[in-house]
A and B are shown apart, each in its own frame.
Chain A
Amino acid sequence: MAGSNLYAQSSFEAGTLPSVNLNTRISGPWRFNFKWESRQVLYRGIFGENKQWDAFYERSDFSGVFSRKVGLNNSIAAGYLIRFVEDRIVHRTIQQFTLVQYFTGFRLAHRFSTDQTFIPDIPTISRYRYRISVENPLNGQEVDPKEFYLKVNNEYLFIHSKRNNGLEIRIVPVLGYNFSDRNKLEAGIDYRLAGLINSEIRTHDYWLTIGWYVKL
């Protein structure tokens, strides 16, 4: 009985997820990233049951991350995020290691990260994440200025708290335009599947993502 009810419901949300990334070199191998990201829900519901257009602003995140190059293609980073969601403020600490590999015709990046989320009256949530990204030029063998490219991120998140454990998978295909090495725009779909373990409800999120990367 329990088995047949497991994952009986799948809910979904769809909306927009714009972001702005500002990156700057501080000195030597040290760099700083400032990111703003916001979510607006437009449509949501439960598959096979009720669905409704329900447009509302959900949240805004502001984060600052310091990173240091620890090799030609590797960097370690740590930072802090503040989230304004409804009437609450959420805090998050972030740590990450990134490795970028260059191949003829594409670039591959591996990102290993952990973060800890602090929400009032809720046990701390820790996430352990791995993301693989591939970036392919649509013209020539590398992404030159004024050229389009395709980028696909695939991320796995193991989520742990005193209350529960969870697993989330994200797939984010985007089309990018490289105005210059200092200025890129990416747009695509950010699909997130959560509730894969220890949950009776799976959630599917579909965000129209638009990201702007600026190097100062």
Chain B
Amino acid sequence: MEWITDIRRMLVSFALLLCFYAAQSQEKVEREYRIKEGEVPAEALKFIDACNFDKKIKWFREENESGSSIEAKVRRQNRRHSIEFSKTGVLEDIEIEIDFEELPANTKGKIISGLDELFAKWSIRKVQIQYKGTTDKLLALIREDVNTSLQKRYEIVLKAKKDRRLQMFQITTGQDGEIVEVQKIDLRSTDNLEY
């Protein structure tokens, strides 16, 4: 049938156009990928060994425009922990996922009033405390739950309405709950889940 031949011709031309388009499209590359323990710097392994985690450690390398880092992810006391190292294995920080309700009342109050000023509506999805300090003090945090003399920040992922649109944001606050950074999170395309 002639119309089938016409449709085939049209589709071939169309596919060629799309190939051209796909070859042209360039995107910023930011990747996190799983690595084996053997690829982890010795210094990072030494710290993790000293932590005595009883759950399996998953290792990741994160690459972005500013460089790369190594991350160990593990569950401890039923909380997600992310321990970040430089690419040479120098400990940078520890992030622990917690419930918003667990924050001190003053900090929580300051975060809530900060969010109310920024957004028309918001709801919290994830809260992490980020601890920074010396290796010994960070080790004491893991082994003995001692968090004194550590620099604390909160990273909060939330769904919020801004400019009449619901969007995802990550805010960073200081120890007292004052918002110091607001970043918009771009959600990945859902086309292949919708059609």
Contact = CB atoms under 8 A, between A and B. Distances in A.
Tell me, yes or no, whether A binds B: yes
Contact of B188 (A96, A143, A151): A143
Given A57-B4, A109-B193, A147-B31, A180 B25 contact: yes
Nearest to A216: B21
Interface stretch (B43-51, B85-93, B142-150, B160-168): B160-168
Interface in A55-74: 57, 60, 65, 67, 71-73
Q: Give the dominant DSSP class at B's interface.
A: mixed
Given A139-B34, A216-B21, 16 more contacts: A21-B195, A23-B189, A28-B165, A36-B11, A71-B166, A72-B187, A87-B1, A98-B193, A100-B190, A140-B31, A140-B32, A142-B188, A183-B22, A183-B25, A213-B189, A213-B192
A91 interface: no
A20 B11 CA distance: 10
Contacts of B4: 57, 84
Interface string A109-133: 1010000000000000000000001
A181 B191 CA distance: 10
Contact of B80 (A104, A139, A146, A211): A104
A88 to B, nearest CB: 12
Interface of B: 1, 3-4, 7, 11, 14-15, 18, 21-22, 25-27, 29-34, 60, 80, 159, 165-168, 187-195
20 contacts: A21-B191, A33-B191, A36-B11, A73-B187, A84-B3, A98-B190, A109-B190, A111-B194, A144-B31, A144-B33, A145-B27, A145-B29, A145-B31, A147-B31, A147-B33, A180-B27, A182-B25, A211-B192, A212-B18, A213-B189
Interface in A168-215: 176, 179-184, 186, 211-215
B33 A139 contact: yes
Contacts of A36: 11, 14
Given A33-B195, A111-B194, A182 B27 contact: yes
A197 to B, nearest CB: 27
Nearest to A135: B193
